Amino acid sequence: MDQSSSSLPRLFTVFSLLSLTIKIQAMDSQVSPTPFIAEQYTNDKKTHVLLAAATIKLPDIAEALCRNKNISVRILVTETAENLIAGQSLEQPVLGTLLHIDGVDAIYRDEDEWTPSWTRGGPVLHIELRKWAHILLVAPMSANTMAKMTNGIADNLLLSVIRAWDTTGVVDMGFKTQKPMIIAALDMDPCTYRHPVTEKQLKVLRDQWERSESNPKGWVTVLPPIEKNLACGDVGTGSAGSMMDWRDIVTVVQNYVAGSAQKS
């Protein structure tokens, strides 16, 4: 075999890698749109849902929400979600493909908080997302995220949005007619869910922050893990993969949207 023919496979490999790099860069430019100004969407007459879902059901949840043409969805991607939705299978497509869902307007990563580099007077992404969102749906909310939320820790984009949330409904009154809501769908193994630390944090969420008849000023809705029979014969609350069924979570959001529309 001559030298020119033996170099062909290498040449094709180089071109393939170059093509893949270009595609990834193009996808990144779509997935991480910045800067974002919430005020531009004040009068679009839609309910804004900020979706943070570290689950392979993320595409299903987004698509189901977007069937309501009065809902606009922006997806907030955590590191866990990036690992779960990375093109492994048809059920786990590349994140950028979610932008093909009519109603999904943008996808944000942690690094988008500082891309492009912030300048004085410029928009701050987590603040703009907070202003924009009528609902923040966290599905699932892990023990780690719940612990950080209840202790005021903000070490990623999602937690920064939560930490800056307008819990009074007064600050962002110019953007919304109803107090914004955080909907947290919990997912924990049985021991974690029953742990005394979890009990203490749930007490904050449910007794102090959750909206109810006794606490109409609340700003959180907690969706507990489902109960199911485990392989060992025990009944486990919050066993692995036991976040409330995604269809039921979508129904909770839809009911909240419908209720808000009637009040406005």
Residue among 48, 66, 100, 126 flagged as catalytic: 126
Q: Which 8-state DSSP code applies to residue 91? A: T
Residue among 48, 66, 100, 232 flagged as catalytic: 232
Q: What is the DSSP string of 140-157?
A: EEPHHHHHHHHTT---SH
Structure-token pair, residue 249: 């979570």
Q: What is the DSSP string of 64-88?
A: HHHTSTTEEEEEE--HHHHHHSEEE
Structure-token pair, residue 139: 């599905």
Q: Which helix (H) or strand (E) holds 94?
A: strand 92-94
Cis peptide bond upstream of 216, omega within 30: no
Radius of gyration in angstroms for the set of CA atoms belonging to the chain, rounded to a whole number: 21
Q: How far is CA 139 from the centre of its chain?
A: 7
100 given a catalytic annotation = no
Q: Which helix (H) or strand (E) holds 183?
A: strand 181-186
Q: Which helix (H) or strand (E) holds 55?
A: none
- How far apart CA 141 and CA 106 sit, in angstroms, is 21
> In the chain, which ranges are continuous DSSP H helix?
3-6, 8-31, 58-66, 79-84, 125-132, 143-150, 157-163, 190-194, 196-203, 246-263
Tokens 């202790």 correspond to what residue? 151
134 given a catalytic annotation = no
Q: List active site positions.
A: 126, 232
